Each structure stands twice: as structure tokens, then as C-alpha cells.
Structure 1
Amino acid sequence: MSKKLFSLLLLRFNLKLQNATKNMKYKRILLKLSGEALMGDRQYGIDPKRLANYASEIKQVTDKGIEVAVVIGGGNIFRGVAGASNGMDRVQGDHMGMLATVINGLALQSALEDEGIQTRLQSAVQINEVAEPFIRRRAIRHLEKGRVVIFGGGTGNPYFTTDSAAVLRAIEIGADVILKGTRVDGIYTADPEKDENATKFDNITFDDVLKKGLKVMDTTAFTLSQENELPIIVFDMNTPGNLLKVVSGDNIGTKVNL
């Protein structure tokens, strides 16, 4: 292929991406998923069907030219806090939890690649045989090339949740928004699964979340997001098409901002 032809094809590709993202509200997102979400209807572990569904949802977004980073929890395999409550050393337990997030990251990576999506798994805990070390500039470059970047290993430090890791990575890569995919379709005045009178917020400020004592993320993560003016959208990830609707700017879930 001649250099001139290659340049022409590259130009057409870039124009196609620009047209695809023109109607999208966000250009770069960080998707936060809980480890429990990967269980599906199981009691523990990973449900391949649920994993495939999530990969399909992410593909719909990447096909529009949106840059996607993902942080997954490890609660479907091991939770450090739970281990500590049963007498285990908290630091040891948290390190086990970090490794669990890498396992989930590998599983999601495989599912995404089955969809034809290029991916990179970066870990805050060095496991060079299975994941790149987290390097901010490298992660950003991967995103610019259209690869989905999965961040595993939490922050690399005990006593920090994957919520904190998600906010930290989102700030570092310059994400436009954090999308927290859950099984509930937003933030409510109370737990909608326990209180039938609970009402949903479409929009709410960071200050009101704190005043009302609503649970969105842990305090460290939430405060970090607020200080950096990084909006959070909580939405139902299990409803097909919701992720694309959120990225398109549809009124899905609950948006938390200043």
C-alpha cells in the first residue's frame, strides 16, 4: 500500500469516527462495575452470560468512537473487609481483594476480545506476566488508539476501595464522567428493593447526597470526585442499551454533579 493511499484511508477513518461521536455527550468515560455484578444469578464467581452481555454493551459504545476505561471490583471472589471481620489481617485481605480484581479484569478482557475489541489490562499490583503495570501516559495512549483499558489491582494500596480506584483513575486519564453500573436504575431516597415508597432522583448535587446520607460511593471516593468536579452517573447496567443511552446524554439513571 502506497503512503498516499494509507494517508487517505486514515483520513476517512478519522472522519468516520468524528461523525460517530458527534452526537455523543461524552468522549472519554470510566465505567465502574462491581464484582458482584459479574455473578449474575450465581452465589459467587463469574457468570459467562453476564460477562458477554457487558462486553456487548461496551462494544456498542466503542463502535461510536467513545474511549472507554473500566474498573471492576472483586467482591464476587473475595472482599478484604469481609476477611478482616472474620479475623484475617486487613492488609492481607485487601491484597487478596486486589488480586481478585485482576482476575475479573482478565475475564472481561477475554469477553471484550471475543467481541473483536482491542484491550489492555493494567494493574496497580505488578503482575507482568498477565497485565501491564499502570502507567498513566500509556493508558491515555491506549485510549486514544481506541483500545478499552481495564484497570485492575485497585489503587495498589490496602484500605482503599475500588470506588476510590475508579475515581482516581478517571481523574488521571481525564475522563469526562464516571458511569457506575449497578442493578438499580439510579439513586433513591431509600433502598427501592426494601422500601416501595422510595423515590428516584434524576439529578442531585454532591452536597445534597452528603446531607441526605445517600450511599453512592465510599466517602473517600465521593469526596475526591467532588473536589475534582467529576460528575457521577448511577444507572442500571443490566438493562440492554442503557450504557449507550447514558453516553448519548439520555436521561438514564441519576446524575451527581455540582
Structure 2
Amino acid sequence: MSECKYKRVMLKLSGEALAGANGFGIDFNVALRIATEIKELVDMGVEVGAVVGAGNIWRGRQGEDMDRTTADYMGMLGTCINALALQDSLESLGVMTRVQSAIEMKEVAEPFIRRRAMRHLEKGRVVIFAAGTGNPYFSTDTAAALRAAEIEADVILLAKKVDGVYDKDPHKHDDAVKFDTLSHLEVLEKGLQVMDSTASSLCKDNNIPIIVFALDEPGNIKKAITGEKIGTIVS
């Protein structure tokens, strides 16, 4: 069995990741594949927290003619839908989970309580943090960084559609250069779109490393936590 480099991790998934090739909504085959990879970590003794975005359902900028706060709250509700979908996929594999929401919805999720979240992790449950930070004007990147700091995660696993951090968009520029390692300060100074600046600053101030890697290649999550060279490491 591979040795885990990290004991407690925060997995940040984009909402688009759950959409698969459809680009919208939830592809439950994709959700099950992701859940299978998370189960592998749990079976290895890794404590897993997760934050899922809502880009497959709603993006705040879609509502450009709307009140920004209303649009952001709609996005938070979208993350709750995705969190429940991921929870269902995990539990179909026998993985114990809890969804904790930053917005109270006691019929479907626990409220976020830091000590309770940490206790769940210690018991081997996957904790999925929904509804962002509970505040408008903050992204799910910031929620992942904040919750990672609160639960004292060893690392943030940032699963994306690209296989690391580039100096420019590799989908638009053939000459884009990939970085193997970066410092948090370099990310902020260069304006690299790893996470938004608030999330990057939180990670910098709390010394939380980030591993950026492509989610669409099966096995990448395990490679990241066993220290295999993959994607870009920001530390």
C-alpha cells in the first residue's frame, strides 16, 4: 500500500467536474467515479473534507442583471445540490458522510460546526462543506481555503480541468508554460488563476499548500496524496 503524505486533506471540486461531458447538470457516472477515488483515500486512513462548486448549475455572473447578493445566494444553493449528489454517490459505496451547510437547512444538512466537523473526520466520515462561506461576494475557492484552515487540513487538493498551473490559458495558447512549483506569493504577484486572491491569501497566511491537478485522469487524487509528482504544487 502506498504511504500517505497527508493525514487530513481538503478536496476542492469544481461544479463543472460533476457535469462531465454534458457541461451542465450532474453526470452521476462521473460523481460515482469521483466518489470511488475518495473511498480509496478513506480506506487508506486519510481524513477527507470536500467543497464542491456550483458552476454546473449556476454561476453568479449569469445573473448579471440581478442583485449580486441574490445571485450569490443562488450559487450557494447550487453547491448544496451538488453536495447531496456527492454524498449519495459516496454512501452508495458504503462511505459514511456528513453534509455541513453554512446556511441552515436542518432537514437536509447539519449546520457547519467546526468541532463537530473535526470529530466526524476523526471517525472516518467524509465531510462535505456546502453553501460556501454562507456569505455573498465569496467564492467556493475561499470556502475551501477557510474550511481547510478551520479543520487544520494538511493540504488542499484542487481538482481542475487542467493538469496544473500555467502562465496563460493552455486551452487558448499553445505556448503556455506549466509551473511545477510556485510559492503563494508568486501566485499573487503574477496574478495566476489558481484560486481567487482572497483564497490564495488565506492559504498563504495559514501556510496551507495547494496541489493543482487534472481530475479527469483516474487515480490522480491518490497520486496527489501519496506525494507522486503531479500537477503544480503551491506552497
Q: TM-score normalised to the size of structure 1?
A: 0.89
Q: 1:111 aligns with which of 84, 89, 96?
A: 89
Check if 1:33 corresponds to 2:13: yes
SS of the residue 1:68 aligns to:
strand
Per the TM alignment, residue 82 of structure 1 is displaced from its structure 2 partner at its CA by 2.2
Question: Relative to structure 2, which stretch is displaced further, 50-59 or 135-144?
Answer: 50-59
Paired residue type of 1:193 = H
Which residue in the other structure is 1:58 paired with? 38
In structure 2, what is the Cα distance between the partners aligned to 1:33 and 1:43? 15
Contact 2:188-2:200 at 8 Å conserved across structures: no
1:25-74 Cα shifts (integer Å, max 9, x gaps): 00000000011111101131001111111011111111100000000001
Per the TM alignment, residue 197 of structure 1 is displaced from its structure 2 partner at its CA by 1.4
Per the TM alignment, residue 198 of structure 1 is displaced from its structure 2 partner at its CA by 1.3
In structure 2, what is the Cα distance between the partners aligned to 1:32 and 1:187? 15
Per the TM alignment, residue 192 of structure 1 is displaced from its structure 2 partner at its CA by 1.3
Question: Relative to structure 2, which stretch is displaced further, 187-196 or 155-164?
Answer: 187-196
Check if 1:97 corresponds to 2:84: no
In structure 2, what is the Cα distance between the partners aligned to 1:240 and 1:146? 23
Question: Relative to structure 2, which stretch is displaced further, 99-108 or 38-47?
Answer: 38-47
Which residue in the other structure is 2:102 paired with? 124
Per the TM alignment, residue 188 of structure 1 is displaced from its structure 2 partner at its CA by 1.1
Question: Relative to structure 2, which stretch is displaced further, 204-213 or 173-182?
Answer: 204-213
Paired residue type of 1:123 = S
Which residue in the other structure is 1:8 paired with? none
In structure 1, what is the Cα distance between the partners aligned to 2:168 and 2:157? 20
1:140-190 Cα shifts (integer Å, max 9, x gaps): 000000000000010001111000000000000000001100111100121
Equivalence map 1:46-85=2 (5 Å): 46-83=26-63, 85=64
Which residue in the other structure is 1:181 paired with? 159
Which residue in the other structure is 1:219 paired with? 197
1:201-223 Cα shifts (integer Å, max 9, x gaps): 11111122223221111111111
Per the TM alignment, residue 81 of structure 1 is displaced from its structure 2 partner at its CA by 2.8
Please identify the structure whose Cα radius of gyration is greater: 1
Paired residue type of 1:251 = K
In structure 1, what is the Cα distance between the partners aligned to 2:192 and 2:23? 27
In structure 2, what is the Cα distance between the partners aligned to 1:235 and 1:219? 19
In structure 2, what is the Cα distance between the partners aligned to 1:233 and 1:107? 24
Paired residue type of 1:255 = I
In structure 1, what is the Cα distance between the partners aligned to 2:225 and 2:135? 31
Number of residue pairs aligned between Structure 1 and Structure 2:
235
Paired residue type of 1:33 = L
Q: Mind listing any 5+ residue stretches in structure 2 that lack a counterpart?
A: none
SS of the residue 1:41 aligns to:
helix
Check if 1:207 corresponds to 2:157: no
In structure 1, what is the Cα distance between the partners aligned to 2:23 and 2:142? 25
Q: Let me know the Cα RMSD of the aligned residues.
A: 1.1
Contact 2:184-2:203 at 8 Å conserved across structures: no
Which residue in the other structure is 2:134 paired with? 156
